[in-house]
Amino acid sequence: MSPLTVMNACGPARPVEADLVVTGAGELLTCPADGKGIGLVVGGAVAAKDGRVVWVGPSKQVQRRVSLADGAAVVDAGGRVVMPGLVECHTHLIFAGDRSAEFQARVAGASYQEVALAGGGIASTVRATRAATDEELRSLALGRLTRLLSLGVTTVEAKSGYGLSPEQELRILELYAQLAALHPVDVIPTLLAAHALPDAYRGRPEVFVDLVTTEMIPAVAARGVARFCDVFCEKGAFTADQCRSVLAAGAQYGLKPKLHADQLSEGGGAALAVEMGAVSADHLDYVSDLGIAALAGSGVTAVLLPGAAFFLGTDQLAPARRLLDSGVRVALSTDLNPGSSPTENLWLMATMGCCALHMTAAEVIRAITCEAARALALEKEVGSLEVGKKADILILESRKHTEIPYHYGINPVEQVFKAGRCVSVRGKETEVRPCA
């Protein structure tokens, strides 16, 4: 009897029933949420039933350990890497307009803050987003979701923040609820009302903060359309005290805190994240030694967004190594947004994690799967191929995990399964259909 055979009182365990089996992986990466490393099973297989993982083990044990339900699909990964669907834990998914002219101004030497002061930046996206119809915003976001899915993303966090009025912020969050119903990718909504001070409140930030805390947060909570409350803690955006008020009000209404922290300057964002018991502190390019010490052992996940630093052309990079070496859990994300990071490609962030942040292949793979899930408090549901979790499964073109950050700028995804159903093959089909 193999040492992996589980005994029960009557002998070897009965085979577990499955409606999907992905077998023949060269490397199966389970990405264990509570462990370390990528949980590599050479020659592995994964079985699922009703959208959940029911068994993981060596392919040679499948016949003995798994029984097939009627109509079950068995997919041979042909020696490729099989891993969890990616978790994209920080995006600004709904926005209209484009800022390619602003990009060219920055390429010519203008800074992100200078562009913003000249009326561009977040404010220009707010104008374009407010002017767009629901139909336009839905179709723009659906296009982005489809691109994300073809790149292997099966769960995406999506922030509001380009509405900045009670009606407009609510409109964006309601659209996220519609998108979640229309598209196979799970959409996790976040209220980011304190993203920028609207022009109408110039010189009166406390009045806007009051509007956020007393009107927007209660309205959003009453509609049940957000899970998290985020703030932009930065010079020119909101002070740590203002962010504290917003996050505290959000928490009172059941919205867990998240922060854009220490992105363009050190502003005490990391310490505030710890103080508020945030699920994540995001960016951290300028985090101080004290901030790192506060994050260590706090349970706050650091979400690093190297694409934003790259696209803004800043030399200041988040101290990923020091964070990891202090025991902080580190996730990576694109920050998908029109100003600082217009990309859906999380694989590229994995490569930047290695090249710019000196993370290992194993660390970046965890950072876009199980650690990203933890940054959304979803580590018990997604981001790992473990029994009981969602059967969000990728078959890659790559044959070993070290190729993932190495062969960069491409889409390595062959096939995507969302909750046990094949939803994308080589980026072509995106509608839910039975597995081949």
Least spacing, CB of residue 1 vs ligand NIG, in Å? 54
Selection from Fe ion, ligand NIG, none that 263 binds (CB < 5 to 8 A by kind) is ligand NIG
Selection from Fe ion, ligand NIG, none that 353 binds (CB < 5 to 8 A by kind) is none
Q: How far is it, in rounded angstroms, from Cα 268 to Cα 261?
A: 8
256 makes contact with ligand NIG (CB under 6 A): no
Residue 121 vs 383, nearer CB to ligand NIG? 121
Burial class (CB in 10 A: 0-12, 13-18, 19+), 155: buried
Torsion angle of the four alpha carbons 81, 20, 156, 379, in this order, in degrees rounded to the nearest 10: -80
Least spacing, CB of residue 125 vs ligand NIG, in Å? 5
CB contact at 8 A, 21 and 353: no
Strands 280-283 and 256-261: parallel
Helix (H) or strand (E) holding 64: helix 62-65
The stretch among 56-64, 210-218, 331-339, 365-373 that binds ligand NIG (CB under 6 A) is 331-339
The stretch among 180-188, 236-244, 335-343, 349-357 that binds Fe ion (CB under 5 A) is 335-343
Q: List the one residue from 57, 257, 339, 412 that touches ligand NIG (CB under 6 A).
A: 339
Torsion angle of the four alpha carbons 348, 77, 376, 294, in this order, in degrees rounded to the nearest 10: -60
91 makes contact with ligand NIG (CB under 6 A): no
Q: List the one residue from 169, 186, 266, 335 that touches Fe ion (CB under 5 A).
A: 335
198 makes contact with ligand NIG (CB under 6 A): no
Write phi, then psi, for 23 (nearest 5 degrees).
-125, 170
Residue 123 vs 145, nearer CB to ligand NIG? 123
Coil, strand or helix: which one is 33? coil
Q: List the one residue from 338, 342, 353, 420 that touches ligand NIG (CB under 6 A).
A: 338
CB contact at 8 A, 216 and 253: no
Q: How far is it, in rounded angstroms, from Cα 42 to Cα 24?
A: 9
Residue 319 vs 338, nearer CB to ligand NIG? 338
Q: List the one residue from 132, 233, 308, 318 that touches ligand NIG (CB under 6 A).
A: 308
Taking residue 86's Cβ as centre, other Cβ atoms within 10 Å add up to: 31
Residue nearest Fe ion (C-beta atom) = 335
**Which residues of the chain form contacts with ligand NIG (CB under 6 A)?**
92, 121-122, 125, 232, 260, 263, 308, 335, 337-340
